[in-house]
Amino acid sequence: MSRKQGTEILQHPDTNKGTAFSMSERRELGLEGLVPPAVLDQTIQADKLLELFHRIESDLDKHVFLNGLADRNERLFYHLVINNFEEMLPILYTPTVGEACRRYSNIFRRPRGMYLGIDLNGRLEQVLRNWEYDDVRVICVTDGERILGLGDLGVNGMGIPIGKLALYTAAAHIDPNACLPIILDVGTNNQELLDDPVYLGLRQQRVSGAAYDSFVDEFIDAAQKVFPKALIQFEDFANPHAIPLLRRYRDRVRCFNDDMQGTAAVAVAGLFAACRLKKTRLRDEKILFLGAGTAGTGIADLTVAAMVEQGLPVDEARSRIWFVDVNGLVVESRRDLAEHNLPYAHDHAPLSTLQEAVDALQPTALIGVSGVPKLFTESVVKAMAANNERPIVFPLSNPTSRAECTAAQAYAWTEGRVIFASGSPFGPVEVAGKTYRPGQGNNVYIFPGLGLGVVASGARIVPDEMFAIAANVLAEHVSDESLARGTIYPPLSDLDDVSRAIARATATYAFDTGLATVDRPDDLDAHLASFRYDPSY
C-alpha cells in the first residue's frame, strides 16, 4: 500500500484506529512512522477521552468534542457513547442539540451527510449517487423549517438528522455506514441567518407551494432509486408540510414522521404507565393538549387508536381529547382551524386561555407541545391538582428552554402528587423529604428499535400499528420500582433491551401482515443480531 493510502486510512473515520493499530497492522497498512510508537487499545483510548470530556465545562463544547471524535475515529466515538449512553445522550441530542443547530454554521468542521439544495433540482438522483455507501438502510431528512422549538434554522438544521442517526447506532446498533443524514435546503426566512456571513445554506427566502412539493417529490423518487432498501424518517418539518408529506407518501414509501408518530408512541407509552400508577385505563382519561400542531395531533390520533382498542367508539374516544392553541380552545364554531384540527373541534363555548380550559374541562392529563416556555403556570398546575388526586402533566416541548414548566415546579405545585414526564431531561426533585425522579419522554425509546424492525423485515410501509405496538412494548418495560419513584419510562441503561424488544415486535408484525419484503427467518433474534454494529476494533 502506498504512503498516500496509509495516510487515507488515518484520515477516514471508518478505518482510523489512531494509536490502537498493532505493530503488524502498521507494517501491513503502511502506517509505520505515521502514528506515535505506543500501542493503546480502545479501552485506554476511551478512558483518556472520557477524562478529557469531563474537563470540558460547556455542554456545547462537549457536543463539538464528540462530533470531532466522530469525524476522525467513528468506532471509538460509538464505543465511548454506547458505554456512557446516559451521560452522552443529553450532549449528543436533546437539549444540547438545539444550541448546536442554532450555531451549526459557526461550529462546522467537516461535511457529514448530504446537503441537497433546491438549486440541484432536476439532478437529485445523480447527486445522491455521490454518497460513498450504497447499502443505505435509514435516511433522516429535514428541511430545517421547524427545528425543535427554535423555528426556521435553514441548513443549520442538519444537526438534527446527524444527531438522530447517531442514536440509531448507539441505541439499536445499526451500522453508521447504513445511515444517511440529509438536509433539503430550500432557503430560509430567518433574516438573521441570511445576514450572517458564515451561514452555510442557500441565501434566499424559502421556496414553497408547487416548487417545494416538486422538489420533495423528486427527492423521494431519487432516494428510492438510489437506496431502495432505505427507511426515510421525516424530521422537524413545519406543520403546513409535515402532515401533507406524510399523507402523500406513507402508503407507498417506507417512511414515517418522528415528530408526529415517534413522539406519539413515546407519549402514549407514558400515558399507559401513568394509568398503571393511577390504576385506571387510558379510555377513562380526559386529555388536554396545549399546542395543536403535528406533535399534538400525532399523540391524539394514537391515543384515540389505543382507546378504541380498549373498547371505546372512535367518536367517544375523540370526545375525550381537547386542544388549546394560540387562539384558545379548539371548538367547532371556529373558522381558523387546519384540517388536522377538525376531528378534535368539539361543541363547546369558546375559551381564550389555557387556565379557562383547565377550569371548565377539568382534564385528567395536560400535555404541552406548544414550543412556548412557562405556559403551565402555577395556577394551571394547581388547578390540575385540585381536580385530580394524581394529575398527569407532560411538558414535552424541546429543548429545555422551551419546556412548559420544570419538574421542580410541577412537583412543588402539586405537593408531589403529579405524574410527570418531560421532553427534555430534569434531575431528581425532593418534596417533603421524598425524592422523585422524573422521566423523559424521549423519542430515542421508540425510533431506533422501530427502525431496526423495519430494516430487518424490509417492511414496505410503516403503518400506525407499528407505533402502537412500540408504545405498548415500551410501557411494559417500566418496572413497578420505577413507577414508585415517579418514573414512567425505563432507565436509559435498559435502552438496548427496549430497542431489541421493539424491533422484534414490529418485525413480527411486518411478517405476520405480509408487509415484509424478505423471507421470514427461522430465528428472528439471530436475524436482528445480524444487523448489529460492533464498534470494537
What CA dihedral angle connects 418, 422, 424 and 426, to 10 degrees?
10
Q: Distance between CA 439 and CA 421 in Å, rounded?
A: 5
- Grouping H, G, I as helix, E, B as strand and the rest as coil, residue 154 is helix
Active-site pick, 17, 104, 164, 411: 164
Distance of alpha carbon 225 from alpha carbon 70, whole angstroms: 29
Cell of 348: 363547546
Task: Catalogue the E-assigned strands of 209-252.
Answer: 231-234
CA distance 414 to 431: 10
In what side-by-side order are the strands of the sheet with 255-257? 114-117, 179-185, 138-142, 231-234, 255-257
CA-CA distance, 240 to 206, in Å (whole number)?
13
Total Cβ atoms within 10 A of residue 12: 13
CB 411 within 8 A of CB 385: no
DSSP string, 391-437: -EEEE--SSGGG-SS-HHHHHHHTTT--EEEESS----EEETTEEE-
Residue 47 CA to its chain's centroid (Å): 28
- Of the candidates 17, 62, 93, 115, the residue annotated as catalytic is 93
Is 212 marked active-site? no
> Is 434 an annotated catalytic residue?
no
Question: Which grid cell is 323?
Answer: 386542544
Nearest to 160 by CA among 233, 236, 249, 225: 236
Asked if omega into 197 is within 30° of 0 (cis), the reply is no
Please, what sign has the CA dihedral across residues 409, 413, 417, 421? Answer: negative
Residue 356 main-chain phi, psi, to 5 deg? -60, -40
Instruction: Using DSSP, state whether 15 is helix, strand or coil.
Output: coil
Contact 334/282 with Cβ under 8 angstroms?
no
Nearest alpha carbon to residue 194 among 203, 185, 181: 203
Strands, DSSP E only, in 205-290? 231-234, 255-257, 287-290
Instruction: Give the separation between CA 186 and CA 207, rounded to whole angstroms.
Output: 6
Distances (CA, A) of 326 to 151, 290, 351, 371: 16, 9, 11, 11
Catalytic residues: 93, 164
